[in-house]
Amino acid sequence: MAHPHIIPPGKKIDLKGFSTRGKDFHDNREQAEAELPELRIELAEWQRKLYSEGKQSLLVVLQAMDTGGKDGTIRHVFRGVNPQGVHVASFKQPSDRELKHDFLWRIHRETPGRGMIGIFNRSHYEDVLVVRVEKIAPKEVWSERYELLNQFESLLTHNNTRILKFFLHISPEEQLKRFRERLENPDKRWKFSPHDLEHRKHWAKYQTAYEDALEKCSTEHAPWFAIPSDQKWYRNWIICKTIVETLRDMNPQYPTIDWEPEDFSLDEP
């Protein structure tokens, strides 16, 4: 069965036609929330096999508008996995040192090694999103990057890294609700920045930039998924389910041993 939110390669994208409501796709929240812990247990088991096998890796890319839920997704989906086998990288404004290199230099250093799950909280796609909308680079620069992104991901795939890219799709109404929650909750105010409201003014431009990224860079080997994320319970469930199904397909296995356990005795002398 085809994934309900995968972006087929070459598909023309209009995000206005993509629902942000998870309950349009799953009408039983209690069932989804009951399944999530079971999926996390299976995810943890596959992660142990992936780490011990040491031949493949998985890269999970999370992109979203402000308040889209990247942090929450990481916290809820990957709860219980062995942190030794998972690496989270967050990409913010490039440092002076990073700006002296090509735009993918800082990204490539954070890609997962064999046996690892890598999680990108924002990613290499910032260089065709914020760079474009905020006019940090001219069009002749960022417009050439889509093909470079595809080539980069093709290289990773060639080296046994499976790639899943999730766009956490929320509505402007839901974003405003979450901004208010951050302002009203002292424990969440640190997550709010006045710059967030400036970005909100460019909502339409960001949506257009995301449409181009999804359309130009969803490939067979590195697909994009537009995940309805107004309902956090659905977002967490469908992303965890997608990751588990991908690991099932990768099918990592514990290494075989070339000795017999019974040949060794641990009895006290």
142-152 tens-digit pLDDT: 999 999 999 99
This prediction has a pTM of 0.95
The answer to whether residue 258 is domain-embedded is: no
**Interacting residues of 27 by C-beta distance below 8 A, sequence separation 6+:** none
Task: Please indicate whether residue 30 or residue 191 has the higher confidence score (pLDDT).
Answer: 30
pLDDT at residue 241, as a whole number: 98
Strand order in the sheet with 117-121: 86-90, 117-121, 57-64, 161-169, 224-228
Residue 197: predicted pLDDT: 86
Q: Which residues contact 174 (CB under 8 A, 6 or more apart)?
A: 20, 67, 229, 230
- In whole angstroms, what is the distance from residue 113 CA to residue 97 CA? 23
Residue range 230-253: mean pLDDT, rounded:
98
pLDDT band at residue 269 under the 50/70/90 scheme? low
Place of tokens 């508008």: 65
| Residue range 2-16, pLDDT digits in tens | 799 999 998 999 999
157 in a domain, yes or no?
A: yes
Q: What is the pLDDT of residue 268?
A: 63
For the cut 60, the answer to whether the pLDDT of residue 115 exceeds it is yes
Instruction: Evaluate whether residue 69 is within a structural domain.
Output: yes
Count of C-beta atoms within a 10 Å radius of residue 130: 18
Domain assignment present for residue 256? The answer is no
Within a domain: 6: no
Q: Is residue 257 part of a domain?
A: no
Q: Does a structural domain hold residue 187?
A: yes
151-197, pLDDT tens digit by residue? 999 999 999 999 999 999 999 999 999 999 999 988 888 888 888 88
Q: Is residue 62 part of a domain?
A: yes
Domains held by the chain: number = 1
Rounded percentage of the chain residues whose pLDDT exceeds 90: 86
Q: Which domain covers residue 109, as residue numbers?
A: 15-249
Q: Is the pLDDT of residue 1 over 60?
A: no
pLDDT reported for residue 264: 81
Q: How far is CA 117 from the centre of its chain?
A: 11
CATH number for the domain that contains residue 105: 3.40.50.300
Q: Is 58 helix (H, G, I), strand (E, B) or coil?
A: strand
